[in-house]
Chain A
Amino acid sequence: MALPELEDIKVERINERESDNKVKKRNLDIDMNPMVDLAFLLLTFFMLATTFSKPQAMELLIPAKPEEQEEQEMAVKESKTISLDLSKDKVIWYQGITDPDTHVVSYQKLESILTRLNGEIDEMVVLIKPLPSSTFGHLVDVFDALNYSEVGRYAMSELSEFDESLESSAGEATEPESTVAP
C-alpha cells in the first residue's frame, strides 16, 4: 500500500502535539526579575514625587470693605476691648484704651489667657496690633489662640501712639512670664 492508513496519521499528529506541549511547558518559566526591577523603579519614582503631608488651612474671614458713604464705625466700650500687641517673642496685652495696665504673656500661654478673659468679659472685642518686630508666624499663632479660645470678635487694628511706645520697651523686658496676671 502506497498511502498510509488514516488512523496512523491521526496518531502521529497527536503524538507530535503532545511533544510540542511538553516543550512549551518548559518555556513557561519566564524570568520575572526585569519586571520586578521595572515595578520597583516606578514605585521609587512615585514615592519620591509624592507630597505626603498635605498642609492644613486656617480659614479667615475679614470684614467687607466699608462703603464710602456710611461710616461703619462701631461703638465698643473701651473696657470690653483687649489689645494684643505682638512683638518678637511675646504678646503684650491690655484692657481698654486710655491709660491701660500692660501685661506680658508668651505665645504659648496666650490661649489660656484669652479663654479666661473671654469668660470674664461679655462681648469681648480683641484688637490685634502687630508691632513691626512681629512675623507672620506670630500672627498665625494669635489667630490659632483666638480660634481655640472661641473669641468671636477680633480685628486687626492700626497701632496707636501708645502701642508704638511699647515697641521700644518690648526689647527690654526680660522674662516674658514674669508679669503674667494671675
Chain B
Amino acid sequence: MSEHNNEGCFFRQQLTDQQFPNNQELQGFEQGQCYIKGYLTNEQDVCKQLKIENGDQQALLNAALKYWGFEVNKHLYGDYVLVWLNREQLLVTSSARASFTLYYQENNGLALATDLNRLSDQGEATLNQAQLLQTLALGLLAGKNTCFEHISQLQCGETLIWQLHQSIELSHQYRLTHAEQLKLAQRNKLPTAEPIAPRVIDDVDLTGLFNQLPSLAHRLGEPITDVALAHFDSLVQASKSDTLLLDCSWLTARNVIGEQLFHNNHRWCKDILRRPLLQQRKQLNKRQKQLFTAFEEEQNEQQESLSFSQWLDLHYVIPAWCKILQRICQHYGKTLINPYIGSEQIMTGSLTEGVTEVVSEEITEMKQADNQSLAYFPLQQISLANVYDAMQRLFHVGEPGTLKLFNLNPAVTGRLVRRQTDDLRRVEQLSVFLLTFDYLARFHPGHFN
C-alpha cells in the first residue's frame, strides 16, 4: 500500500475578463503535479509495468496519467481521489468504490476541494431542498448532489475533465459501471490496519454522544443523519492507530431501504414537512424512478438475482455510508480501510440487520425488534440529552429557517414520537437530522436558512 495522504487540497478558478486570465487559487498541490488523497494497492505492479523507479509516487502518477489518460482509474487499484492540473486542463478521477470524497462547484468558474466546508464557506452556497427531502425520505444515497446547490461530489469510479479557458467547460465525463467497480474493488488487497472497535451500543455514554452531534455536524459541514456516526466519531478519536480497518458492525448501522417502503418512504414523516420541502416531492419521485429504471436495466444486462433493495444497498447505501465514515476519519488525520462488500455478502444477508422489507409477519416483527435495539436513545427516558425531547424543544428555540421547512408543532412531534414506537430508529434519525440542521442554521445562517 502506498503512503496515505491526509492533506486536503483546494483549487479555484473564477471566470475572468481578458485582463486577468490567470485568476487561480491553489492549495495542497501544484500545476503539472498529481494530487492524490487516499492510497494505492498496486503501486509496485504499476511501477514495473511503466518502468518507474519504485517509491516515487509523483512520477508514477504522472506516468500513469500519460499512459492511460482518463482511464487511469481502471489500472490504479486502491481507494483514492486523484487531481491533475496543467495550464489547460483539470482532471479529477476516483477509484472504483472510492470512499474518499472530492467536492466541486461549477458556479461562476470552477472550484474543488476535499473538504466540503471550504466550498460552502465561499459565501455562495444555498441549501438544496430536493436533496434534503431525499435524505429525509431515503437516507444517505451515493450520488452527485450534496445538501448545497451548485456543490457536487465526484462519484465513485468517475472521471471528469475541464478545459480551463476563459470559459470553463466540462469536456469529458465518464463513470465506471457498477459491475466494473465491483470487479476492480475486489482486486484490492486490503492493507494491514488496526481494526476499529465494533459497534456495541449497550455501554455508550448517551449524554456524551448527544453532545458530540453538533461538533461533528460542524466538522462535516452538513446535518448528521444518524447517531451511529457520532458513536463512530468518538471511537475514531479514541483510537491510537492512523490506519483503521472498518469493522462490519459499522455497516449494519446504515439506513437500509425496504423495497415496498421505497415508493412511500416519506409518508411516515410527511406531517413534519412544510410546504417548501413538500414541493420537492416531484424531484424525489423522479429520482426514485431513475433508480428503479437503472436497476431494471442492469438486471436485464447482467441477469443478476439481487432484489431492488439489495441492489440499492450495494450500489448506493453502502458506498454513501463508507464515504461519510471515511470523512470522519479524515478529520482526525486517519485513514479508514474499507473492506469492500460484494453482492454475495448482500445476498447471504450477513449485513441486513436493519432491513425493513416485508417478507412475512413474523420476520417483520423480528426486524422491528432489531430496529428498536439499534436505536441509541430510549424513548421513555426524559432527559436534557435525549434527541426526542431536544427535537420537541426546537418548537420553542428553533431557528426561523428550520421552522420554515419543518412543522415542529409539539402536537405533531409528540404524535410522531408516540406512534412510531415500532420504528424508533427512524424517529431517532429524523430527530438527529433536525437538531443538527438547526444547529448549523444557528451558526451558518447564510447556508441553512
Chains A and B come from one and the same complex: no
Q: Which residues of A contact B (CB under 8 A)?
A: none
Which B residues have a C-beta under 8 Å from some C-beta of A? none
